[in-house]
Structure 1
Amino acid sequence: MKRLLEIEFIKLWNSRSSRILIISYFALLSLISILTTIDFSFGKIQFRLAEQGIFNFPYIWHINTFIAGVLKIFIAIVIVSMMSNEYSNKTLKQNLIDGLSKKEFVLSKFYMVVVFSLISTIFIATVTLILGLIYSDYKTASIIFTDTEFLLSYFVKLVGFFSLCLFLGMLVRKSAFALGFLFIWYILEWLFFGLLNYVLPDNSEIPGKIFKFLPIQSLSNLIKEPVSRFNAVMTLANQVGEDLTRDYTTHWYEYTIVIIWTLFFLFFTYITLKRRNL
């Protein structure tokens, strides 16, 4: 494992674009603190995010992992570019000539995915803890470490999403096409959901249940939207008679679905490489 990771780190270090994207990603994660200064205005309602409790423990674990999850596209670009460069720079063929098996090649990429995900999780955990200790009104240990399971959800979400990018990068070869295909995949999932709603009877729960099993949606389900937890949003909803009560918990079966998809992407990344004539 160590040898395979060393090979990948050397490749990334020698890629200027990858270095810039990785630095940009972690810089943006650090800038989550800027949210504390943003003022929002909805008609006569004005509020500052920091005053709505989003930086209070334990809510901060939810909001920060959700925002960080949106920024994962930067590392997705790195991964698909990494796969594209393997073909354009002929390093894939050279690695195989030098004795690296196709299985080891795929594992080296997956190990890198896991390392990226782990480093990102540790980084966002550190940023969140610092912001919470500065801005939170509640700082007892029992409250601080409540909802830290969102960090696990964030880690699993990153591993699953980056494994999907790894598969698309191997399948399509060209990074721009791979990212485009990722966007099309997202659109197709929603079109499929819309088709199910159109075909099945009104008020049927079947479309929603099926939708949860699709790859990109299953990744989204690991960290549900946190906006409805804001004090201002809840107050506004109550004024218009809306109930925004949500289940924000990540259930075991949601983890299971993503893990199965991750193994699926890893397996077919290997199958694609094994059957490809290099």
Structure 2
Amino acid sequence: MFRLLTIEFHKLKHNRASRVLSIIYFGLLTSIALIAAIRFNIFGETIHLADQGIFNFPYIWHFNTYVAATMKFFLLLVIVSMMANEYSNKTLKQNLIDGLSKKEFILSKFYTVIAFALISTIFVFVVSLILGLIYSDYNEIGIIFSDLDYILAFFVKLVGFFSFGLFLGILVKRSAFAVGAMFIWLIIENMFRGFLYYSFRGIKNASESIDPIMQFLPLESMTNLIKEPGSRLGAVRTMAEKVGSGFSKDYSVQFLDIVIVCTWTFIFIYLSYALLKKRDL
């Protein structure tokens, strides 16, 4: 494994675009801390975000993993360009000539995906822990380390998302087209949701019938891992209750969602290998 990872990181080290995108990505992850400095005025009252509980334990694990997950597209570009460069620079063919099997080649890419996801997860964990220790109103050990399942969900989400990107990179061989294919698939999933709403029209609480179907689609399952945290804030709930609207949403990480994403990850890696094995390079 370490031999394969060494080969991949050697390639990335000499790829300027990958280095720049990686620096931007981790820079953006660090910028989560800047949210603490945001102040805005509502009806003449100054609101300081850090005072609204967004950095309180254990809520911070939910909030920061959700925000960090929105930045994953920068590393997606690194993953798909990594595959595109293999074809354009003919390093894929050279690696196979030098004795690397197609299985080892796919494993080297998958190990890189896991490494990126693991480094990102550790980075977000450390940033969140520091911010929480500075701003949280609750510093008991039991509270600090509760809800860490969001950290696991973040890791699983990144591995699944990057594995999808890896498969698309092998499928279309061009980074721009691979990213485009990802967005096209997102549109297809949304169109399918619209089709389901049309099919279940007239049924009360149609979403209760649609969501169990949508949860098995790849991007939707990854989205379900970490649900939006905004409506979980006490201030938002209080405001909603004042206008007569309440929340009954389950924000927890569901084991089924983890299983679905892990299954899709296996499918993407297997298809990547099957596609590479079938191709005449």
Using the size of structure 2 for normalisation, the TM-score is 0.96
Relative to 1, partners in 2 of residues 1:276 and 1:32: Cα closer, same or farther, differing over 3 Å? same
Q: Which residue of structure 2 aligns with residue 116 of structure 1? A: 116
Q: Which residue of structure 1 aligns with residue 27 of structure 2? A: 27
1:241 is aligned, of 222, 240, 244, to 244
1:253 is aligned, of 250, 253, 256, to 256
Which amino acid is the alignment partner of residue 169 of structure 1? G
Relative to 1, partners in 2 of residues 1:40 and 1:77: Cα closer, same or farther, differing over 3 Å? same
Task: Give the superposition deviation at 1:42.
Answer: 5.1
Task: Give the superposition deviation at 1:228.
Answer: 0.4
Alignment of 1:71 with 2:71, yes or no, is: yes
Task: Give the superposition deviation at 1:20.
Answer: 0.7
Q: Distance in 2 between matches of 1:158 and 1:45?
A: 38
Alignment of 1:212 with 2:212, yes or no, is: no
Cα RMSD (Å) of the superposition? 1.2
Task: Give the superposition deviation at 1:239.
Answer: 1.6
Task: Give the superposition deviation at 1:46.
Answer: 5.0
Q: Distance in 1 between matches of 2:30 and 2:211?
A: 35
Q: Which residue of structure 2 aligns with residue 168 of structure 1? A: 168
Alpha carbons 1:47, 1:232 under 8 Å: kept: no
Deviation per residue, 1:121-154 (Å, 9 max, x gap): 1111000000000000110101100111111000
Q: Which residue of structure 1 aligns with residue 93 of structure 2? A: 93
Task: Give the superposition deviation at 1:102.
Answer: 0.6
Alignment of 1:223 with 2:233, yes or no, is: no
Q: Distance in 2 between matches of 1:137 and 1:147?
A: 16
Identity %: 56
For structure 1, the residue ranges without an aligned partner over 5 or more in a row are: none
For structure 2, the residue ranges without an aligned partner over 5 or more in a row are: none
Q: Distance in 2 between matches of 1:31 and 1:7?
A: 31
> Matched residue of 2:47: which SS?
strand
Q: Which residue of structure 1 aligns with residue 18 of structure 2? A: 18
Which amino acid is the alignment partner of residue 159 of structure 1? V
Q: Distance in 2 between matches of 1:48 and 1:63?
A: 16
Q: Distance in 2 between matches of 1:267 and 1:76?
A: 19
Relative to 1, partners in 2 of residues 1:83 and 1:139: Cα closer, same or farther, differing over 3 Å? same
Task: Give the superposition deviation at 1:45.
Answer: 6.4
Question: Aligned ranges for residues 180-219 of structure 1 at < 5 Å?
Answer: 180-201=180-201, 202-203=203-204, 204=206, 205-219=208-222
Deviation per residue, 1:90-139 (Å, 9 max, x gap): 00000011011111100000000001111111111000000000000110
> Matched residue of 2:225: which SS?
coil
Task: Give the superposition deviation at 1:229.
Answer: 1.4
Deviation per residue, 1:3-45 (Å, 9 max, x gap): 1101001000000110111111111111101101112455566
Task: Give the superposition deviation at 1:192.
Answer: 0.2
Which amino acid is the alignment partner of residue 117 of structure 1? A
Task: Give the superposition deviation at 1:242.
Answer: 1.1
Which stretches of structure 1, 4 residues or longer, exceed 3 Å deviation after superposition? 40-46
Relative to 1, partners in 2 of residues 1:165 and 1:227: Cα closer, same or farther, differing over 3 Å? same
Q: Distance in 2 between matches of 1:50 and 1:123?
A: 20
Moved more, 235-244 or 24-33: 235-244
Deviation per residue, 1:164-193 (Å, 9 max, x gap): 000000001110011011011111101101
Using the size of structure 1 for normalisation, the TM-score is 0.97
Q: Distance in 2 between matches of 1:199 and 1:11?
A: 49
How many residues in Structure 1 have an aligned counterpart in Structure 2?
Answer: 278
> Matched residue of 1:123: which SS?
helix
Q: Which residue of structure 1 aligns with residue 159 of structure 2? A: 159
